[in-house]
Structure 1
Amino acid sequence: MMESGLRLTVDGPVARVVLDRPEVRNAQTPAMWRALAGFGQALPPEVRVVVVSGEGPSFSAGLDRRLIMGETVEGEEPLLSLGAKPADQVHAEIAAFQAGFSWLRRPEFVSVAAVQGHAVGAGFQLALACDLRVVADDARFSMREPALGLVPDLGGTQPLVQLVGYSRALEICATSRWVEAGEARELGLANIVVGVSELGDTVKDLTEALLAPLPGAVRETKALLLGAADRPYEEQLRAEREAQARRLAELLGSLG
């Protein structure tokens, strides 16, 4: 399916999201975010891995710069026009934008970002929305929003802190500096760094490895890990017991 600068496909247990605006380094628009949210809502239950990538040499240069500069792009109003609307309407519109990213955290599947070239602003946040990041050695990350007088508002702040810690996350955001692929690996932003020519095969190998365990085991494990930081230890132990009881019952049922 082609929609709003995206290629969205489902092939059995693997869904793919390809940002397909290479002429503008896969710059994003609110229409793309709405399409992403709809795609996430419509995923069939057999999907176990979602791969997110960009067409061409860049993952994504972030929000289409013309929208930041006050232009209308493909019917989308300039970003700053939101500032003239009532607060509850602004909150609702941003929540709709965030939905295009937050579905990638759901425990039913594992999401993988294949990142090369630029991952800036919304592009950085899209990579952060994914569970895993396979990064080409030419990748460069930057959280540009503060440099524009804005904040990262597409769900990227929490996973960034979880991955690199508060102090480093603040430094990366407040300076809007570039984080190169090697540093991304050292900080924990990148799970794997490979040559550009190896990116596709590495993502394919990782996808196959993620599909090997039983789907229920991966789903329950992801849910446990997602909630671990927010639960007291005793509650985490209880969550593990409950998850294991469900797994044992399902495995026993499959034998019958």
Structure 2
Amino acid sequence: MNALFLSGDPDDRILKTLRTHRQGPVLTIELNVPEQGNVVSEAMLDDLLTVLDDQDPSVRVLVMTGAGQDFCLGGDRDEFAGHLAHDATGNGIRVSGVKARRVCDALTSHSAVTIARVQGRAIGAGFALALACDLRVGADTATFRLPELALGLPTAWGGLLPRLISEVGAASVRELVLTGRPLPAQEALGLSILQRVVPEDALDDAVDEWAKPLLRRSLPAVRVTKTLLNSLTASTRLADASVLDPELMAAVASEVHHMRTTR
């Protein structure tokens, strides 16, 4: 196994859902609940914020990956249902949604160059986490999907929609969101959701091929350039309403829950 993916950081003693490993200026964050498909729970959001908010200036490359067969199967549906059972107004979902937005923004704005290493399925929230990274490499067997409409929910998690429209284009995003169909790796490459596709056993090498030249670049130049790219990309989102994602998700989930429980 590549040394990037060996556990051993002090954080491993306190993080419940992640493993981290530091190799010089490269930090790897591994979603580490493989028996549940690395679903994004409240605990995982808290762990991600703990790591991402640290912003160690000596970290130059940050790799996001997942343990097991899949990158991430989306949000924790059992926890979602529990939030509604505890408070039918959706306040728990609203709080979780604010954290999700913070996590995705932290990935995008992180001072390091962020790389998503995607294997298996990246669904819903997992799709959003990958898309929030600067560079994205996927296994040739990887798939992406946005199933929210089939679950009776809006596609409103972590600012996904404006990022996706900015990277892909409105027409293609509309089709992906409304149909909820799986998107295979080669098609994701053609839409710029992935920038590279390789066999799964070559994922580590592909990450290294991106990381090594980045480590040789001038640190101030890389960070200023990343800030410029983020600023220019943000300026193309003429009306980014994703700040309302938590409210929209909570409102719709609460309404659907009410309809199902009053039949």
TM-score grouping bracket, smaller chain normalisation: 0.7 to 0.9
The correspondence for 2:172, drawn from 168, 172, 181, is: 168
Shift of the alpha carbon at 1:79?
A: 5.4
SS in 2 for 1:53: strand
Aligned to 2:128: 125
SS in 2 for 1:169: helix
Distance in 2, matches of 1:102 and 1:141, equals 20
The correspondence for 1:28, drawn from 40, 57, 61, is: 40
SS in 1 for 2:21: strand
Are the structure 2 counterparts of residues 82 and 165 from structure 1 closer, same or farther at C-alpha, using a change threshold of 3 Å? farther
Q: Does 2:89 align with 1:84?
A: yes
Are the structure 2 counterparts of residues 79 and 129 from structure 1 closer, same or farther at C-alpha, using a change threshold of 3 Å? farther
Shift of the alpha carbon at 1:101?
A: 2.1
State which drifts further: 101-110 or 172-181: 101-110
Aligned to 1:116: 119
Letter in structure 2 aligned against 1:111: T
| Identical pairs, percent | 35
Shift of the alpha carbon at 1:12?
A: 2.8
Q: Within 5 A, what are the aligned runs for 1:129-168?
A: 129-151=132-154, 152-168=156-172
The correspondence for 2:207, drawn from 192, 195, 203, is: 203
CA-atom RMSD in angstroms: 2.0
SS in 2 for 1:171: helix
1:190-231 residue CA offsets vs partner (Å, 9 max, x unmatched)? 110000110111112211122121111111111111111455
Aligned to 2:259: none
Q: Within 5 A, what are the aligned runs for 1:225-236?
A: 225-231=229-235
Distance in 2, matches of 1:230 and 1:14, equals 26
Q: Within 5 A, what are the aligned runs for 1:10-25?
A: 10-25=22-37
Letter in structure 2 aligned against 1:95: V
Q: Within 5 A, what are the aligned runs for 1:96-111?
A: 96-106=99-109, 108-111=111-114
Letter in structure 2 aligned against 1:188: S
Tell me, which stretches of 5 or more residues in structure 1 are unaligned? 71-76, 233-256
Give TM-score scaled by structure 1 length.
0.80
Distance in 2, matches of 1:117 and 1:30, equals 23
SS in 1 for 2:53: helix
Distance in 1, matches of 2:102 and 2:230, equals 18
1:73-102 residue CA offsets vs partner (Å, 9 max, x unmatched)? xxxx4356564256xx76444212321222
Letter in structure 2 aligned against 1:46: S
Letter in structure 2 aligned against 1:10: R
Aligned residues: 223
Are the structure 2 counterparts of residues 22 and 166 from structure 1 closer, same or farther at C-alpha, using a change threshold of 3 Å? same
SS in 2 for 1:99: helix
Q: Which has the higher contact order (CA 8 A, sep 6+)?
A: 2
Query: For the Cα contact (< 8 Å) 2:42–2:96, is it kept in 1?
Result: no
Tell me, which stretches of 5 or more residues in structure 2 are unaligned? 1-10, 237-263
1:86-133 residue CA offsets vs partner (Å, 9 max, x unmatched)? 6xx764442123212220111511100000101001111110111110
State which drifts further: 109-118 or 96-105: 96-105
1:117-158 residue CA offsets vs partner (Å, 9 max, x unmatched)? 010011111101111100100100001222212223212112
Query: For the Cα contact (< 8 Å) 1:34–1:97, is it kept in 2?
Result: no
Distance in 2, matches of 1:109 and 1:84, equals 38
Query: For the Cα contact (< 8 Å) 1:107–1:220, is it kept in 2?
Result: no
* Larger-Rg structure: 1
Shift of the alpha carbon at 1:44?
A: 1.1
Aligned to 2:226: 222
